[in-house]
């Protein structure tokens, strides 16, 4: 697995577009998130359909075509320096095949931020654009608008990425050891759902795989991990970083499953690394070379996440 192209860091006055690619966006939370961005001396603009709701499926923020158009237009706008997703939920899989990847590639590299359902787009930006992305808080997300640690870590990553080259949250080792590779991953259920699709990478070989999820029963997490194992997708992975499991079983009960499904890989596995749906989530760069020290609970990037 190769390192991906790192976009340029942001500077004061940079224009950032906020788009809704997945679930419907609460207007009050969006406005609060935009105020946070303005407080960082950024110039946020919103997609025209960011507050839409699908006429039939209320779990979607507008139609597939409109959500895809908002993302593509924002990315292809030469005045926009970064694209931030408003929230997750569900819907990225429905709109991703409507994007013009040639046009996105021609627009050049930009910062892309999101997580959860946006795992689908992280994978596609890696495979189609060869672009490193940021698995981080979203503009209308509760954690982004209310949690100082989540805000500050994203802000530092965007403006001064050299200050957050080591990501440490006081985690522990499920399987001890050190490993070097290229970061990838995101929401476990979405990685499993993407297997065999045109935008998914063929395997995690050579990678440091970041995994987290939200609101899943233990047997379903077992199913997702088993699917990744049986498909061969995890063969050659260098190490695994486990984030939060918000709304899942108590971690003491979940830990034996993770040890059972991941312990046999023979690679370091760090737990409680601090990214994902949990409170105060850290921003995790994807597509960058790094070293994992599972016992220390640290991920140290070879270079800053952004140039």
Phi, psi of 171 (to 5 degrees): -70, 175
Q: Which pair of tokens denotes residue 288? A: 């960058």
User: How many alpha carbons fall within 13 Å on the CB side of residue 21?
Assistant: 33
Q: Do 48 and 18 form a contact (C-beta atoms < 8 A)?
A: no
Phi, psi of 29 (to 5 degrees): -65, -40
Q: What is the DSSP letter of 210?
A: E
Output the CA–CA distances (angstroms, integers) from residue 236 to 64, 126, 197, 229, in the order listed. Answer: 36, 18, 20, 11
Q: Residue 170: which residues within 8 A CB-CB, separation 6 or more?
A: 272, 274, 297
Q: Which pair of tokens denotes residue 238? A: 């260098």
Q: Residue 114: which residues within 8 A CB-CB, separation 6 or more?
A: 21, 84, 85, 88, 121, 122, 134, 135, 136, 138
Q: Which residues are catalytic, by number?
A: 116, 212, 277
Which of 206, 207, 225, 188 is closest to 286 using CA atoms?
Answer: 207
- Segments in 40-187 forming alpha helices (H): 64-76, 92-95, 101-106, 119-129, 142-146, 148-159
């Amino acid at each position: 697995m190769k390192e991906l192209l790192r976009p340029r860091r942001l500077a004061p006055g940079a224009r950032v577009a906020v788009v809704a690619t997945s679930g419907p966006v609460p207007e009050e939370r969006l406005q609060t998130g935009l105020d946070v961005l303005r407080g960082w001396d950024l110039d946020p603009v919103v997609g025209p359909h960011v507050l839409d709701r699908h006429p039939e499926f209320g779990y979607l923020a507008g139609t597939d075509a409109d959500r895809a158009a908002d993302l593509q237009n924002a990315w292809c706008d030469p005045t926009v320096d970064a694209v931030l997703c408003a929230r997750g939920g569900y819907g990225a899989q429905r709109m991703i095949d409507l994007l013009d990847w040639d046009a996105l590639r021609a627009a050049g590299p930009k910062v892309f931020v999101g997580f959860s359902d946006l795992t689908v787009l992280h994978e596609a930006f890696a495979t189609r654009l060869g672009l490193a992305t940021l698995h981080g808080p979203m503009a209308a997300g509760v954690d982004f608008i209310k949690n100082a640690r989540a805000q500050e870590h994203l802000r530092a990553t965007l403006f001064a990425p050299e200050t957050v080259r080591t990501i440490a949250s006081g985690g522990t080792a499920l399987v001890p050891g050190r490993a070097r590779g290229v970061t990838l991953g995101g929401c476990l259920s979405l990685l499993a759902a993407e297997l065999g699709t045109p935008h998914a990478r063929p395997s995690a070989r050579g990678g440091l795989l970041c995994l987290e999820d939200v609101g899943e029963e233990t047997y379903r997490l077992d199913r997702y991990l088993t699917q990744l194992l049986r498909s061969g997708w995890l063969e050659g992975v260098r190490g695994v970083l486990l984030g939060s499991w918000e709304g899942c079983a108590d971690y003491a009960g979940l830990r034996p499953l993770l040890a059972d499904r991941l312990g046999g890989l023979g690679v370091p596995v760090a737990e409680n690394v601090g990214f994902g749906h949990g409170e105060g989530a850290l921003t995790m760069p994807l597509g960058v070379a790094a070293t994992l020290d599972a016992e220390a609970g640290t991920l140290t990037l070879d270079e800053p996440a952004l140039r």
